[in-house]
Chain A
Amino acid sequence: MKSEPMLLAQQFVNGLMLGSIYALVAVAFTLTIGVLNFLNFSIPGIFMLGGMFTWIFLKSGLPLGLVVLLALVIGAAASLLVERSSYRQMMGSDHFIPLVSSMGFLILYENLVLIFWGSDIQVVNSPFRDVSVTVFGLIISIPQLAGLALAVTMAYVLTRILYGTSTGRGLRAIAENPDSAIMLGVHVFRIVPVVFLFSGLFTALAGVIFALNYTQVHPFMGEEVALKGISAMVIGGMGSVWGAIVGGLLIGVAEILSISSFGSDFVDIAVYGLLLVILVIRPEGLFGGSALGRERL
């Protein structure tokens, strides 16, 4: 039997682990919004593809490394398909048109998976099921720890790319003003796929970690997580990579702590209420110091 503060600490750790999944999804959302001002609704579908293909490939007996690689490749490909057939076709049209097609992709991906693998909840045969380390009496599962580390590492790599390469300069130029970026010679059609590639990789990785960790996947697994990811992105400030990471961890901790103290029914009201209040009072997010639309990314 654990003492009260230890129990709280354990829940805090669990919340951080859950939050790292939200954080990865939030970074994916924040990328397409920050650079392209595009709310990509296909992200829940890509998250689901990452999770479902982890289950499918593990079931067929492939080694774990290959499974993760293949799931990530499929997620990235699915994301690039969204770019090709929604965003690229509709540059310059009404801002909600690409949003509609990305919703179309979400319905398409979910139902295609449903057709071939059914709608049942599948149990992932995760090799990490019971692997954990105990630090100061706190139980930390290895894939969760790896997920948290990967989330932070990938966010770091992303900021290095954004601020250290010419591609990143191009991305930031598009984020600031797409028209001037094109006039100044930024190759939009070469750079925009990079956004979708990264957003697809982050999302699919979150799906893979979710599948390995919580060992349950189904065709509609992405929706709930993506809604939390969107909230995390807003709390951290849209377009801010580190804001998304912090927001994701915050929501994960808040969710776990409030489930244990108030019950799960009130969690949704709390999370979405917070989201609404922040959107109205501080649209730049809790940590964004700058005015709206300026200094994104």
Chain B
Amino acid sequence: MTSYQTGLLVILSINIVIAYGAYLPIAAGQMNLGIAGFMALGAYASAYVANNAGLPPIVTIFIGAGFAGLLALIVAVPILRTRGIYLALATFALGQIVAAAILNVELVGAAEGYSVLDHFGLATIAPITIATIAVVAYLNRTRFGLNLTAISQDELLANLFGVRTRRLQIAAFTLGAFFAGLGGALHAHYYNYIRPQDFNILLSIYIILFVLLGGTRSVLGPIVGAAIFTFLPEIFRDLDKKFSAFFDQVPDWLGQASAWRFAIFAALIIVFMMLRPQGIMTRGATRAAARWVAWCVRRLGFARSSGARP
């Protein structure tokens, strides 16, 4: 693997962890627009403890994630009183406050940014991502996951049937913030340099888009969404070079390759949401994919076994 490919896989792994941070509240019918704030808290807490307390970073990332989860737990009680757009705006305000607060802390470099000493590579980050996927996939199969689905479909009805909606929503919100903080900590130890302005509202929006594009009703949704968001802009990256193979002179406006890839990407989001608003991976799509894989395996097995027969 070239270092470019390894780098892409690391970014994908981090994006998947963060995407689950947004997925869990969405699965409980809540939209958290403050994901970037929880990421920032996880990143800075982990980096500070690792830099100063001498703990190994594999421990500090969970301390960072724990801080993010703790903040979520503290604010969940008042903030989850609000609903729908109000909740989205309240979480958005929370994210802005966290980033703005870090911007004023000289201890972690304020606006100049903060250097992180310990570095993580793919070998450390990928297992953490796989563990995250496993935890969420397991939770999804338990009564907890079933209850979250019930809440997202009809909160009042779920409550009438004895689902403890409020407690579960707080749990989903807190757990989501934990994963967001974990992803933020991984981000800090991969890039080794963090700035408060990196954790802005646009980042939160992109993470929400990961989940909604991938699909909110399947554990595979965030993975698919994160993969699309990680790889698709890369495919468009060398657009101008490809165009210049066809045309002798590349016009000036075509040269803005990075802007073009985001414009095309945005147009794809819009068209996609028109055609398939439920996201790419639904339960049906997951089953279909599983059937297809099983069919392929059977075909392979059949071909092999028939070949073995006389």
Contacts and interface: CB of A to CB of B under 8 A. Distances in A.
Interface in B91-142: 92-94, 96-97, 100-101, 103-104
Count chain B CB atoms within 10 A of each CB in A103, A275, A279 and give the residue with the most: A279
Interface string A266-287: 1011001101100110010000
A115 B100 CA distance: 31
A37 B83 CA distance: 12
A274 B100 CA distance: 14
A111 B266 contact: yes
A283 B81 CA distance: 10
Interface string B236-280: 000000000000000001001001101101110110011001100
A156 interface: no
Interface centre among A41, A90, A234, A272 (most CB of B within 10 A): A272
A104 B270 contact: yes
Contact of A101 (B82, B202, B259, B273): B273
Contact of B208 (A86, A100, A223): A100
A272 B260 contact: no
Nearest to B84: A95
B70 interface: no
Contact of A272 (B79, B97, B262): B97
A39 interface: yes
B277 A283 contact: no
B85 interface: yes
A101 B269 contact: yes
B212 interface: yes
Contact of B103 (A90, A108, A265): A265
Contacts of B26: 96
A268 B100 contact: yes
B90 interface: yes
A272 B212 contact: no
Interface in B186-220: 201-202, 205, 208-209, 212-213, 216
Contacts of A114: 256, 259
B302 interface: no
Contacts, number: 131
A268 B104 CA distance: 11
Interface residues of B, number: 44
A94 interface: yes
Contact of A104 (B94, B216, B273): B273
Interface string A85-106: 1100110011111011101111
A77 interface: no
Contact of A105 (B89, B94, B103, B266): B266
Contacts of B212: 96-97, 100
B266 A107 contact: yes
A276 B96 CA distance: 10
B171 interface: no
B78 interface: yes
A227 to B, nearest CB: 7
Given A93-B277, A114-B256, A279 B266 contact: no
Contact of A112 (B82, B89, B263, B270): B263
Nearest to B265: A107
A239 to B, nearest CB: 10
A45 to B, nearest CB: 10
A28 interface: no
Nearest to A275: B93
A105 B274 CA distance: 13
Contacts of A276: 79, 90, 93-94, 97
Interface of A: 33, 37, 39, 41, 85-86, 89-90, 93-97, 99-101, 103-108, 111-112, 114-116, 118, 223, 227, 230-231, 234, 238, 265-266, 268-269, 272-273, 275-276, 279-280, 283
10 contacts: A96-B26, A97-B273, A100-B212, A101-B270, A104-B269, A108-B263, A111-B260, A114-B256, A269-B104, A279-B82
